[in-house]
Amino acid sequence: MTEQGPQAAAPEVPRRNWSGNVRYAARAFHRPTSTDELRRLVAGNTRLRAVGSGHSFNRFGDTDGDLVSLAGLPQTVEVDHERGQVTVSGAMRYGDLARQLHTQGYALANLASLPHISVAGAVATATHGSGQTHGNLASAVAALELVTADGDLLPVHRDTDRFAGMVVGLGALGLVTRVTLDVVPAFELRQYVRLDLGREALDEALGSAYSVSVFTDWRTPRLREVWRKQAADQPPPPADWLGTTAADQPRHPVLGMPPENCTPQLGEPGPWHERLPHFKLGFTPSSGDELQSEYHVPRTAAGDVLAALDDVAHLIAPVLLVCELRTVAADELWLSPNHRRDSFVVHFTWIDDTAAVLPVVAAVEERLAPFAPRPHWGKVFVTDPVELATRHPRYADFAALLADLDPKGMFRTDALDRYFPR
Ligand SMILES: Cc1cc2nc3c(=O)[nH]c(=O)nc-3n(C[C@H](O)[C@H](O)[C@H](O)COP(=O)(O)OP(=O)(O)OC[C@H]3O[C@@H](n4cnc5c(N)ncnc54)[C@H](O)[C@@H]3O)c2cc1C
């Protein structure tokens, strides 16, 4: 067990989200330093909510009650060598966890594009990386420990009834103090960036390596960049790979942003946690001045989805910083956008202008509707709640779980009430 104690230089509870498009409306902000203090805070409260690292873009986590950060609790990393699992504090950032795991010879199977996010916050929204055989980050969760609405400590694990409903919990079922994740032996990857992919080769490209992301800008039907994160012992893609050319210098997904912020490319081998994310821990991820939306559709629909979006490309391009295409394997988690569906995932990094972006989000959703898109729970979407319920087969089961675990609405927020009316 590694005991680091409370993070010395950790920031106070954030007053707004990372992007700045949400200023938290909380009446009070808390940063307890022990689980007992956290439990007392809940027991003496009527409306309260956790905040992680604040990297979500919508108001699901925005309470008018009290907002509590768990980053002041002791940060622990406990590896169970026999089970192949690690138990960590919910507020720990993936980047900090990854460094500690790697020194012990372990890895997580996948990571998101940025290592700055907290484990509990990322899992709550089904955050994901890319890879046809890799589930989202929540699918690696083997157990959780929550402080429930009455202040009790509730451990749940894979064999627990309704566990599959509790992992992607939208922050609404309790405060996640500890998370147990499956680990794999540490491994090395190389990252190559290839330029100018034709759409006809998209599916092959996405399935060509451990984790693949494709970036485009909707200004032409061509796909601008392919980021291939491949096993270090595999040969580099050949010079004429799928009709692309090799990037001869490091790239940033957003044109004009510094490539120094990104993990090493050009085939330099390195540990999993310094290749799977696009962005380095100590640097600003992405542009920093942006909004994001993302939709999960059936993987088999990838070509048709891009063709459908062509109709609104002229609306997308002017408000877009970059579009990323990824894949995620199916899982069993109730509210996961990947529930029982291998997924093709279309992500938009928008300019930081809500008024200009929202009508385009609506137009994108209209074009995607025939593919039953499931939006990312942590990003901007405008889907009608009744419609969204039809796209998640276990939506009603989650609503019942919510009513059962939080009957008085301790963890409810206005956005949650809109999507899961009481
Ligand atoms: C630059 C950038 C890049 C991104 N890249 C990706 C990507 O590659 N893939 C992807 O899928 N997403 C991506 N995201 C989205 C991001 O991963 C999710 O929004 C994620 O939820 C953020 O985690 P967080 O710790 O910041 O959570 P927060 O935004 O702080 O909270 C998210 C939700 O979790 C709840 N929560 C937080 N902590 C707890 C806790 N301890 N207990 C209970 N509930 C809790 C909150 O109440 C809230 O509802 C990106 C975001 C940014 C800003």
pLDDT at residue 12 in the model: 81
Q: What percent of the chain has pLDDT over 90?
A: 95
Is residue 101 helix, strand or coil?
helix
* 182 touches 157 (CB < 8 A): no
pLDDT at residue 8 in the model: 39
pLDDT tens figures, 149-207 = 999 999 999 999 999 999 999 999 999 999 999 999 999 999 999 999 999 999 999 99
pLDDT at residue 320 in the model: 98
Ordered alpha helix ranges (H), 176-248: 202-206
Mean pLDDT of 360-369: 98
pLDDT at residue 288 in the model: 84
Ligand 1 binding residues, C-beta < 6 A: 18, 49-56, 60-61, 70, 90-91, 112-114, 117-118, 120-122, 124-125, 127-128, 170-171, 175-176, 285-286, 292, 376, 378
Question: Ligand 1 test: best mutation among 31, 125, 136, most atoms within 8 Å of CB?
Answer: 125
What is the chain's length? 422
Measured CA to CA, the distance from residue 69 to residue 50 in angstroms comes to 6
Question: What are the phi and psi torsion angles at 66 (to 5°)?
Answer: -100, 145
pLDDT at residue 284 in the model: 87
Apex 27 CA angle, 22 and 28, nearest 5: 100
User: Ligand 1 centroid to 120 CA: how many Å?
Assistant: 8
Measured CA to CA, the distance from residue 76 to residue 89 in angstroms comes to 6
* 278 touches 322 (CB < 8 A): no
pLDDT tens figures, 32-48 = 999 999 999 999 999 99
Q: Which of 60, 82, 62 is nearest to 385 (CA)?
A: 60
pLDDT tens figures, 244-298 = 999 999 999 999 999 999 999 999 999 999 999 999 998 989 888 999 999 999 9
Nearest CA to ligand 1 atom 50: 55
Measured CA to CA, the distance from residue 359 to residue 52 in angstroms comes to 29
Q: Which of 325, 297, 263 is nearest to 129 (CA)?
A: 325
pLDDT at residue 287 in the model: 82
Residue 235 reports pLDDT greater than 70: yes
User: Ligand 1 centroid to 196 CA: how many Å?
Assistant: 31
Measured CA to CA, the distance from residue 289 to residue 292 in angstroms comes to 10
pLDDT tens figures, 370-390 = 999 999 999 999 999 999 999
- Residues 6 or more apart whose CB falls under 8 angstroms from that of 239 comprise 246
A 10 A CB-CB count for 109 gives: 21
* 282 touches 333 (CB < 8 A): no
pLDDT tens figures, 390-404 = 999 999 999 999 999
Q: What percent of the chain has pLDDT over 70?
A: 97
More confident site: 284 or 352: 352
Q: Which of 11, 47, 46 is nearest to 31 (CA)?
A: 11
pLDDT tens figures, 407-416 = 999 999 999 9
pLDDT tens figures, 203-219 = 999 999 999 999 999 99
Mean residue pLDDT of the chain comes to 96
CA 377, chain centre distance (Å): 9
Residue 2 reports pLDDT greater than 70: no
Mean pLDDT of 88-100: 98
Residue 4 reports pLDDT greater than 70: no
pLDDT at residue 7 in the model: 37
**Dihedral class, residue 276 (left if φ above 0, else alpha if ψ from -120 to 50, else beta):** alpha
User: Ligand 1 centroid to 78 CA: how many Å?
Assistant: 23
